[in-house]
Structures are given as structure tokens and as C-alpha cells.
Amino acid sequence: MISSIILAAGSSDRMGSPKALLDWGGEPLICWEIRQLREAGVDEVIVVLGHRSDDVRRALARVNCRVMNNPHFHSGRAESVRIGAKAVQRDAEAIVIVNVDQPRPAEFIRALIVAHQGGNGVAVTRPVVAGRHGHPVVVAGSMREELMAASDATEGMRGVLHAHANTIADIPADDLCEVDINTPDDYRAALRRFGIAG
């Protein structure tokens, strides 16, 4: 059982509209991302919504995923991590944690999952390019309770990863692991990087 959590609760202030609903080759970005996760071999996709959740939920009506709501999305990302982790099946072998504004193709995600499964005693697997850590991250299913206890006071996901610093596998990747959509300029650059007409 491979699970995944898409963090999509943010207010997208710099973008000016929900990132989850950005047009990505003719479909909402979040729908494309769910499809990529499924094609990568993920069995369960959990989406955590917050800002304009009703609008995003409508876009997901025909998509195979489980939707959770974070009513306190303004308080920080750690709350979304906790909500997503709580929804993960207890028998999950691994959990892929994805930010909605960081699209990755199926083959990229699949390579991380395969590397994680092949790691001996590895708790966390993440991509790295030129010494810089990227996204998404794959964590062992046994870390579910730690994710459920993540808080902004303990630096959220960063704090969880820090606690497992000695069992992290960094997987060499290309610059796809750094694509991050925060502004309209970022969005246009990401479309070009993925070869999608904007």
C-alpha cells in the first residue's frame, strides 16, 4: 500500500487564484497531479483542502481521491500534514507528500518510490539537484504517527525530517524537483518547463 497526501489548502495569495485549479494542459493542475500519482503506482490519494475548498472539491468530483478539509489553513502547513496523515491507511508502506504547487510527472514520482522501496532502513527519500533538496518526499508508513503530531512549533515537516536526518536517502534528480509555482511568472515558467502551451 503506497499512500500520498497532496497539500492544497493554501490561500495562493501571490498567484491570485487557487493553484489547484490552474489550467494544466486542459485540466485543473490538481487533477493532473492525482493522475500522475496513480500512474506512478500510488494506491491512495488524499487531498487536503482549505482556501476555496468548495471550488476545488467540485473539480475533484469525478477524480478518484479522498478529500479532507483543513478549516484552519491560515495557521500553517503543519495542520494540513496532520489532517492528511490521519486519513492515511494504517497499513501504508510509504507515504508520498506532495505540494499542489510543485507538479511532478509520474516517472519522476515512480523513481522516488522505487528508490525508497529499495532503501535498506531508509525512513525518508527525497530528490536532490546540485546539493539542493527538492520535492516531493517519500516517507516510511511507520512515520504516520509522527506526521499526525507535526506542529508549526516543531517546524512541521522540516522537524519530522530533521528527526530522521540519519536515515534520509537523497536521490540525484534533474531540475524538475525544483519547479515551484507561487506567482503568475512561476506558472508560465512551469508550463514552458513541462512543454505545455499556456
Domain 2-193 superfamily per CATH: Spore Coat Polysaccharide Biosynthesis Protein SpsA; Chain A (3.90.550.10)
Ordered by start, the domain boundaries in the chain are 2-193
Confidence (pTM) = 0.95
The whole-number pLDDT of residue 48 equals 98
pLDDT tens digits along 81-136: 999 999 999 999 999 999 999 999 999 999 999 999 998 889 999 999 998 999 99
Q: Which residues pair with 158 in a beta bridge?
A: none
Distances (CA, A) of 172 to 49, 112, 179: 31, 10, 15
For residues 80 and 9, the answer to whether their CB atoms sit within 8 Å is yes
Select from 99, 98, 45, 34 the least CA-distant residue to 68.
45
Distances (CA, A) of 104 to 21, 88, 174: 16, 21, 11
